[in-house]
Amino acid sequence: MVLIELRNVVKKYGDVTALDGINMEVQRGELLAVVGPNGAGKTTLLKIMAGIEEPTSGQIYYENREIGRGDVELVRRMCTMVFQRVVLFNTTVYDNVAYGLKIRRLPENETRERVHEALDLVKLENCEKVAAKKLSGGQQQRVSLARALVLEPELLLLDEPTANLDPQTTSIIEDVMNRVNKEKGATIVMATHNVFQVQRVPKRAVLLLNGRIVEAGLVEEIFLKPSVNFASFTRVENVFTGTSVILDDGTSMIKIDEGVQIEVAFRKTGETAIFIRPEDIIVSKKPLESSARNTFRGKIIEVSDLGPVLRLKVDAERVFSAQITKRSFENMQVNVGSEVFIAFKASSVHLI
């Protein structure tokens, strides 16, 4: 069931068009990411959905009911927005979180119960009496999230919820989003520029560039076979272009440049753009004996620590990025400057 729908929504600030013809549906109970660089219009889009901003033109529907200027209060009761820049009252954590419930005149015992539950969810259960403004930036962001959760909104809008936060706080907030979505059925729309977060949290994403939605779909499909727009924004690695010819066995060979040819499992001729996921590339210190159709010898030129895994850049006439575990890296006893072999199957090459 569609909870909120935007039809041909345009938002202008003077001569600047922040949103240009947005058509988007958000299903009840889904967790959707609005992805895009700074200035793409993500915050403006969320503000319009929250009833904080009015569109210059276009229509907004909540459960098939068109929302006009006189329905702003209805919209604000249905949804809550958490901003990237946290603003807290100069009082205790408890009073900050309870504020919205007191405005709504909820009984004290119900207020207390809901505040306790919200603070427990964001792992601040022992901070009720602490002055909110004395907390760290990450803790303040969690108070802000708890303040929204305690209202039990039908639609929760999060603007860059983990921007500039430490990994532990980021993990807590991502866990809260997943739990609230799965256990309470809350509909969540989050704006983010963090493509790694998009892979971890939502099921569906839309890509916003220059005020327009240029890509939409399931996250696994977008990352498995990224469009040129998505690959450009996310700076997806291992995107190559070349000339493809069909081979006798039904596969194709793509000539990237002199010395680099990549065999693929699909049939195509002419100019072709392809993508190989870093995790689909095997790295070895010795030549590989496998069914992989594509094998190259190269040199490690960069190693990046991504937590449980490492991202290697290997110069094999063209630079390839591969992802391996730290244990594999240590077992190979290699480092920057080491010669290695990389391999990947023809079926691991995806057409863009």
Residue 215: other Cβ atoms inside 10 A: 18
pLDDT at 197: 80
Please report the domains of the chain, with CATH numbers, ordered by start residue: 2-233 (3.40.50.300), 239-351 (2.40.50.100)
Query: Which pLDDT tens digit goes with each residue over 92-143?
Result: 999 999 999 999 999 999 999 999 999 999 999 999 999 999 999 999 999 9
Which phi and psi (to 5°) does residue 10 adopt? -125, 140
Strands in 65-66's sheet, in edge-to-edge order, are 16-27, 2-13, 57-62, 65-66
Give the per-residue pLDDT at 291: 73
Tens of pLDDT along 140-162?
A: 999 999 999 999 999 999 999 98
Question: In order along the chain (352 residues), what is the average pLDDT of each group of 10 residues?
Answer: 95 95 96 91 95 93 86 82 92 95 93 96 95 93 96 95 85 94 94 82 91 90 72 74 89 87 91 86 86 89 85 92 90 93 90 78
Collapsed DSSP state (helix, strand, coil) of residue 80? strand
In this prediction, residue 47 carries a pLDDT of 95
What per-residue confidence (pLDDT) applies to 225?
67
- Number of helices (H), then strands (E), belonging to the chain: the values are 10, 20
| pLDDT (0 to 100) of residue 235 | 63
Tokens representing 322 are 């591969």
**Residue 307 has what pLDDT?**
74
C-alpha to C-alpha distance for 92 and 125, rounded to whole angstroms: 13
